[in-house]
Structure 1
Amino acid sequence: MSLFKRQAPERATNPNAKEGPGPDRLPPGQYLTRKWPVLSYERTPSFPPDWRLKISGEVEQPFELTWEEFLALPRVTITTDIHCVTTWSRFDNTWEGVHIREILKRARPLPSARYVMAHSWTGYTTNMPLSSLDDDDVLIAIKHDGKDLEPDHGGPVRLVVPKLYFYKSAKWLDGLEFMAEDRPGFWEMRGYHNRGDPWAEERYW
């Protein structure tokens, strides 16, 4: 049973656009919604006045960025689909933020770095292979569809990893820990799949 707080989504028809894996953009077992449901286990937190983005672990150059330093990094705009483990999908989300490779080129992961744990200032964590993080469509987002990212959706700063179920896109991001060995995060310890590939319906262990 999911522990998410749910907001009922509005269903929409699938336009059958030929993007993403397979002949159809909608992964198996998913339905399309125009709305963006709010799903969180935690209460929506306030933004810490002393927020830092902490890059740690198996990297040549661990570092921290203040909010002002983070905002000064180069930004990109990327449009992606997103897929929730609770079976809804939303197409054509436009994100603005810092591409993950801006972070990787500064941190310089060591050859031993094979996995990453994303950390939130709420204590939430989620793990993934470094190969899933280091992808063309992964970014640390501060805007969604032209507006500041709302706190209920992880604002003002959220990891976005579109090719995995959306519990891997940590809300309220404040750290990336590079690891030699994998270990499960918050939902992964509670039965959600360790990898979370929507196209393989990797919902639960």
Structure 2
Amino acid sequence: MQWEIKWFEFVKASIPAGITFRRNQAGETPEEVFSKTHEDLMKEGRDWLIKTSESCSVVAALIAGVAFATSAAIPGGTLDTSGKPIFETQPAFQVFSISSLLALCFSVTALVMFLAIITSRFQEKDFDTNLPVKLLLGFSSLFVSIAAMLVCFCTGHFFMIGDKLKYAAYPVYALACFPVSIFAAAQFPLYIDLLRTTFKNPFEHLSRYKV
């Protein structure tokens, strides 16, 4: 639907301005004809966006719940005298703290973006920029939150293993990130198409009408 809108805008800008105000034999303007002929496509796009947003919002909500519980947990506990974390000076603890905060913030952001899509009015003009931008922000935040959650898990688990087992755990951590990498690679073409179409008309390279 977004590509159809971009094509309509390109054609409208490529012809003399007076033609765009003319009506056909049925008394319909070009905008009315476009809306009438793209009702089914707009419905399919709406259904796909709602289904995708509902699925992703469930994942974002789960990550937000886990990240909130993780942000309140302190690996190794705290000192009785000062209440500061025992592993405060270790780099792994700093990574754990930052990654848990990132997972919480970006998962909540993704959840808000997907809920904004679900509650959208789904008007024709929304498919041009509004909905694609929300979808891009939702996908980006979801991917960052998943990556941050994995980093948080790996660094938190790092405190539980001994020095002799830490090198053996590295391949396991890499395998844990492998399914997420496959999912991100599968969604990468859609992500690129959304970026190209949202912020630039894909038909700009074509020649326009010249008076």
TM-score range, shorter chain: under 0.3
Bigger RCO (CA 8 Å, 6+ sep): 2
Task: Normalising by structure 2, report the TM-score.
Answer: 0.24
In proportion to residue count, which structure has more strand? 1
Task: Normalising by structure 1, report the TM-score.
Answer: 0.24
In proportion to residue count, which structure has more helix? 2
Structure with max Cα Rg: 2
